[in-house]
Structure 1
Amino acid sequence: MRLRVLVAGLVPAVLLTVAGCGSQATEKTKDAQGRELDKVTLTLNWYPYGEHAPFYYGKKQGIFARRGIDLTIRPGQGSQKTIQATASGQTDFGWADTPALLAGVSQGLEVKSLGVFLQTTPSSVQFFDDKNIKSPADLKGKSIASTAGDALSKTFPAFLKANGLGPGDVTLQNTDPAGKMAAVISGKTDALLGFATDQGPTMQEKSGKHVSYLRFADYGLSFYSNGLLTSTGTVADKKDLVKRMVEATSESWAAAEKDPGAAVGAMAGASQQLPSEKVLTEQFGATLKLLHTDATKNRPPGVNSEADWAKTIATFAQAGVITKVEPPATYWDASFAPKG
């Protein structure tokens, strides 16, 4: 079964163009101690939720500032748009899903991964317990909310195939990302495609009903997920800034892992759409389980394995998300890996 590559137009993200990308000079500022800092923008994959706690914690604790970075964190509108914004210089760095990065590079977008942090995918089918779904076989005949063209919708047919099902065994109801939860809560669909670190805890809190998951990684389909990226121009022209950004990000994730309560607390006021502290805590707790594979255990967050990259690339070549297998270096610059 092959998935059709959706070659999306470069839809402008709702972002402000900033200085500091590619070969442009980086804008400078000073902190309260008079230290000169580089102004840097990071655009997330979505509106802030628990997964993003380390960035807010690292900023609050001065981890980025100690490496000469004045960090501005911006909400995103999906990994695809974040990657487009990064490639076009609308943001210095992005935080996005690896399948979307693979597809973007295959379409000619000049971006590079600087390291994947969520090394086991949180992709999942999510549903209330009363739907009596215990295994992928129970999805037959069910309706599932999805968003056409996103990484999950491209991956789902491969998940079905891995579990002896075909696209005709389920009904996908196309909706915008924000509408998927409403479709499940209202009963319009039986389930949704989403990250187990995102929608499920919110649905559970809003409905008062327990949410369960079929995680892709538990049923034969594991691959790299969210990580840090930048444009190839920034890699070429601002190696020192890239190195400092990767080091600060890795340190922030390590610090947040040691004190998850404080990390979640650092997100206060991050967004008008911010979930409750209870949901953020559950989201971040689920995220921390995804930081390593067997090949990267006991390594700093963001250190990747070339073999894991190759496995992810092969998975999406087989699924048709990319047209051919390329070496990991096509998508990932290993030279900035944090040393710990």
Structure 2
Amino acid sequence: MENQLPNDFDLIIIGTGVVESIVSAAASRIGKTVLHIDRNDYYGGHWASFNLDAIQKLQHKATYNSISQDNLNELINENEELMRIGNDLFNIENFKFKWHIPEKRIIVSDDNKNRETKVDEGTLSTEIENEIGEQVNKSTEEEEDWTQEILNKDSRKFNIDLTPKLQYARGDFVELLISSNIARYSEYRSVSRVLTLLNGQLEVVPCSRSDVFANSKVSVIEKRMLMKLLTSLDDGSEDFKNYENKTFRAFLKDKKLTPNLVHYVLYAISMSTDETPCHEGVENTKRFLNSLGRFGKTPFLFSMYGSGEITQAFL
């Protein structure tokens, strides 16, 4: 006799987003019977991850059509009651996909007579075309520029997250993954470095003590000032009574930090704004410092195969 699906469940969950997946796993763990369904052909809801080929196909999928009340009445039998489950809150609509790179590589021969110019209409201006031609003439061994053709060929070598997420190494979510043993079913990597845009250039943010003293863009005096500040914030020796109604930026300026150090601490380490209250900026900084050194040089972890892997681990 073939196994049949049960007719009764303690819980019916619609969707495979992170919240739904955690609830499903928690209910199953305490012995509840769960029917977990999703009308999408992918996991994750708004946390889904797609390779390039899959996300291009997503734009061609029609939005879900609602059924009229008259048609619903025809489907309901006697003594049956219609119960609506799920909602349209997490539908992906108005999807637009646009390339900002040429379709194919422009090939220029040594005598500059043979040129392949098959590109998307309106994608490549004459100026850019000429510039690329000059670069190819300079050296044929230089790394190829990205094209649609190259990326589509390597579509399965990378994922695109609908909701990119980084996790603090000692954050609540990572502790949940460990305590629930979900970490065994997912793979994480440590972010190798943190960058910030400073004076028009991407600069490496000195996170740890070794980073601070190895950074050539920070003077010796600045290094001492930065380490003194971060140490006082981390051990709680700083007094903030006079900053209850002031911003974190005001606190940093009162510490006589240079503009570069204010930028590093305020925007890159604390990830605050100019209007962030002092107590909130301090807590943000502590959270950053507390996660340093657990799994790598920075406080951040990312899912190896995208945010969508997180939801699948709970299923």
Q: Greater share of strand residues, 1 or 2?
A: 1
TM-score past 0.5 threshold: no
Scaled by the length of structure 2, the TM-score of the pair is: 0.26
